Structure 1
Amino acid sequence: MSDFRTQIQAYIREQALPIDKYSHQPRLYQLATTLGEGLVYDDDVLYAAAWLHDLGVFIGHRPAEPSELAAWDNVAYALKTVPDLLHQWQFPIDKIAAVLAAIAQHSPQQTPTSLEARLLRDADILEQLGAVGILRIVSKVGRDTRYPTFAEALATLEQNLHHLPNQLQLASAQGLAEARIALLAQFIRAAQAEAQGQPW
């Protein structure tokens, strides 16, 4: 029997560049399973989708040219690339379509059609709030074309605060979000106060 979980994890550990990209996958899977406590879902599907959903954001998988990167669809890349990888790792063939659906529907603007997709989507939204959300955005300043300065990072954090919480679907996710929302709001207020109206 294929140990596809070990192979998925080893592959992502190798491919996740910059190196800080790696921590999102194990944390996301753990968070999604926490949200799913007491619910009946396919853990193989959730595991594969959580670990592979961001394949297209890694250096070596995404374009290097800034103009191409600005138009890059990392989800489409993952949907194209993941099936062959899952076949290679002897992942159950009858579950691949469900993995792809969860990946396709994990973004906040999407409507999940399965519990696995809902768990992944809510967990990914939670990852954009609170202390983890702050670290993930601020770490990109100066190395990501979206965040040349702290001003753009702070604007994204504000957008996340105002638009993401009400998109959570699961009651368990809404409960976990409360402390993260409060912390993020406090951070934004403090950053704005300390800047005293000066540019970042």
Structure 2
Amino acid sequence: MDLDPFKSGKIWNFDGFKEIVMLEKHILSLVRNYAFNNSEKDDIHGFSHTERVHELSIQIGKSLGANLFILRISALLHDVGRVRERNSSLKENHADLSAKMASQFLNTLNFKISEKDKLNIIHCIRAHSFSNNIVLKTLEAKILSDADKLDALGAIGLYRTIGFTIKKKGGIDQVIEHLENKILKLRDRLHLEKSREIADERKKIIWDFYNEIKHL
């Protein structure tokens, strides 16, 4: 039996071939490079954010028995459409653009991922955006959505909130507004208990900052 997917052209389901570690590493290296080259060049939604979401996804995924291969690809590609969103006049959600770009990219590779796994990856990416209002159908989609929100909490989340506001030429009032309208509500929008545990560890610095700054 020929186990070389590069030669056979066979559709492989990597759930059943996790022993092919080097192949997975090769795929993920290509995905990581593509994500880096198509990321925003800032600390708010740039590649540093992508890497943190990736690590959070794996942390949660390992504890829940999720498909880590699907999670890794989904997390790395979840924001690749942001640059195109910013430069587009069509007002298409970045998650939809990211899903389209991910699908096109995966189709260009010299090997095939099973259709089931690919559909899960695309679903994870499209559904991670809260504003898209898509029902999360898989464990991996719930994990990615939660991991993306968790990166908006804690010290790094506070840094991103302030950076985002400054980028939009806002001030203290806009920081408070962003905290009240979005950040302070994120914990209740998480899908998994494991994610809520992480949020509880991160929320104190956000609340302490908010309670102090709103009285200035």
- C-alpha distance in 2 between matches for 1:98 and 1:133: 28
SS at match of 1:164: helix
- C-alpha distance in 2 between matches for 1:38 and 1:141: 34
Q: 1:176 aligns with which of 198, 208, 211?
A: 198
Distance 1:79 1:126, change over 3 A: same
| Residues 20-169 of structure 1 aligned to structure 2 (within 5 Å) | 20=43, 21-58=46-83, 61-64=84-87, 68=89, 71-89=91-109, 90=111, 92-94=113-115, 95-108=117-130, 109-144=133-168, 148-169=170-191
For structure 2, the residue ranges without an aligned partner over 5 or more in a row are: 1-5, 7-22
How many positions carry a matched residue from both structures? Answer: 187
Q: TM-score, normalised on structure 2? A: 0.77
- Bigger drift between 112-121 and 183-192 goes to 183-192
After superposition, what is the alpha-carbon deviation per residue over 1:139-181, rounded to whole angstroms, capped at 9, x for unaligned? 123434xx53342233112223442211212111111111222
Superposed displacement of residue 138, structure 1: 1.5
- C-alpha distance in 2 between matches for 1:77 and 1:54: 9
After superposition, what is the alpha-carbon deviation per residue over 1:60-113, rounded to whole angstroms, capped at 9, x for unaligned? x23437xx38x3411121122211101223351422111011112112344311
- C-alpha distance in 1 between matches for 2:87 and 2:170: 16
Contact 1:4 1:91 in 2 (8 A): no
For structure 1, the residue ranges without an aligned partner over 5 or more in a row are: none
- Letter of the 1:11 partner, please give it: Y
After superposition, what is the alpha-carbon deviation per residue over 1:106-127, rounded to whole angstroms, capped at 9, x for unaligned? 1234431101001111111211
Q: Tell me which structure has the larger Cα radius of gyration.
A: 2
Counting aligned pairs with the same residue, the percent is 22
Superposed displacement of residue 189, structure 1: 1.4
Contact 2:95 2:129 in 1 (8 A): no
- Letter of the 2:75 partner, please give it: A
Q: Which runs of 4+ in 1 moved over 4 A?
A: none
Contact 2:99 2:125 in 1 (8 A): yes
Contact 2:127 2:145 in 1 (8 A): yes
Superposed displacement of residue 9, structure 1: 0.9
SS at match of 1:45: helix
2:30 equivalent to 1:10: no
SS at match of 2:167: coil
Distance 1:55 1:150, change over 3 A: farther
- Letter of the 2:157 partner, please give it: G
RMSD: 2.1
- C-alpha distance in 2 between matches for 1:104 and 1:150: 32
SS at match of 1:37: helix
SS at match of 1:75: helix
